[in-house]
Amino acid sequence: MSQLTEAQCLIEQGAMFPYRQGFRNTATGGTILIGFKTGACSIYYDDAPIYHFDLDGRWQRAFIGADLNAPDTPKNLAGVPGTHYLKALDTSSTALVRLREGNEIKIRRRALGFAESVQLDDRIRHVAMSLYEGITSGRLQPIDPPREGRTAGSPLQISELLDFFDRVASWDATAWIRQKENYMATFGPQPMSPPICPGPVVLQATLGDSGDKGVGFGGSRTTPLYVRNAEEFERHIGRVVTLWGRRLAQARGIHLAGSDMIGRPMPEVIDALETTTKLMSDVTLDVVRQVIDPPRSPRKSDIHMMTHHLEAEPPTPEMFREYRQRGLVHLTIGVESWREEVLQAYGRAWRIGQLQRWLDNAAEADLPVSAVWLVGSGGSAWPEDVEESAKRIEAIAWRPGTVVYLLDAAETAAGAIRGQLGIRDDNAAEVRKLHQLTFESAKARGVKVLPYTIDKEWQ
């Protein structure tokens, strides 16, 4: 008996797709799975290619299988070799390739140029057009999923499938340009999102970053601080909802962005939290008419915030409690260094001892906190002393349950500070060493220390 392809397995056992439909290509003998789940659609052609869309028809991820006979195709990786492509909400496209280097599997990321991105968009658009033609011509014959049992699924009406393919086909070059324009009109420079909440809906009550040097977290690009007033923030939320569209159903949280936001006067923070909760808790489509058009609202309306400005007085436990009552579920603290010289280079006025006050006040209010700890942020100007960093992490009274994410500073540093401090392109060895030095002692205290890379956020 021959081994089943991924598409064949998912038709029979793909319980993650409560609505799914299989097809057999009478011309090639291949199998296709089209599956719908919360806010998303996936299309599998046997083992590859594989495409993932939101319900507005915008592609988000694609896996294009490689030619096994090509000389540059990796032969030492498990599974089907090929390239993953990601399409972000801002329309940028990225290629990711898994490569073995020694005993490690690494992911190499490459931003696609404009022409290459347009070609890929058009290729995926024609996938939908081909499926439309194959179904209407009878070339693709339906295969229903099991109707009973643990892996039961519900087949979709052909009219719904054809309607969805029309949506995908509508995303031509003009539509993507319009999406890019809408994105740029909606957001300022976006800061890093909390690792504990991947792929959140980002709302910007404030734009940019305070400080004389104008440096974002980890040396990222930013702009001078601008605080939206209540009317501006409500309009911004409306634009974000429109930009996300049906993709909102995929979101598992909200990032109320702005590194200065948590330190703003209490009335401003409360207003921002209450406005976010009010406008995001019940976002629906005007018409809910099909299985593939569920209510358009986030799966979770939990609000996350992140800051690296610890020089200000932290909110008191009473203030943190008020914020929790209004939807704040987690605070992430960015730590660029424990060295005063490095912090000064990033334009920070706080010292490592002040971090404990933020942690203590949040703990007293029972607000969960995580930390992003940069590794290699001092570059060649202030080389990392990994052993000393381990001691500093161990000396902090982290609350049990806290996660400390170790992030290579090369992933955040932009050109100016990268050149100024001589930040290396790869500090992975230091991240691994720091993890090894801190893992056991942190575990004994109920704290997790985890290596983290932004490059692995495939959202």
User: Among residues 244, 135, 222, which one has the least CA distance to residue 416?
Assistant: 222
Domains of the chain, each with CATH number or no CATH: 6-175 (no CATH), 187-456 (3.80.30.20)
Number of other residues whose CB lies within 10 A of the CB of residue 34: 26
What are the structure tokens assigned to 34, written together? 């089209």
pLDDT of residue 370: 98
pLDDT at position 284 is 61
Token pair recorded at residue 130: 């081909």
Nearest to 412 by CA among 264, 263, 305, 259: 259
Residues in Cβ contact with 424 at an 8 Å cutoff, skipping those fewer than 6 apart: 376, 379, 380, 410
pLDDT of 300-313, one tens digit each?
A: 789 999 999 999 89
- Give the confidence band of 416 by pLDDT, cuts at 50, 70, 90: confident
Q: How far apart are CA 59 and CA 28, in angstroms?
A: 25
Give the pLDDT band (50/70/90) at residue 294: low
pLDDT digits (tens, 9 = 90+) for 211-221: 777 789 999 98
The larger pLDDT score, comparing residue 145 to residue 281, is at: 145
**Bridging pattern class, strands 201-204 and 254-257:** parallel
Q: Of 264, 244, 247, nearest to 315 (Cα)?
A: 264
- DSSP track, 270-318: HHHHHHHHHHHTT---S---STT------S---EEEEE---SSPPPPHH
Burial 313-333 (b: 16+ CB within 10 A, else e): ebbebebbebbbebbbbbbbb
On average, the pLDDT of the chain sits at: 90
Structure tokens at 218: 């980890």
- In the structure, what pLDDT confidence band is assigned to residue 38 with cuts at 50, 70 and 90? confident
pTM score, whole prediction: 0.90
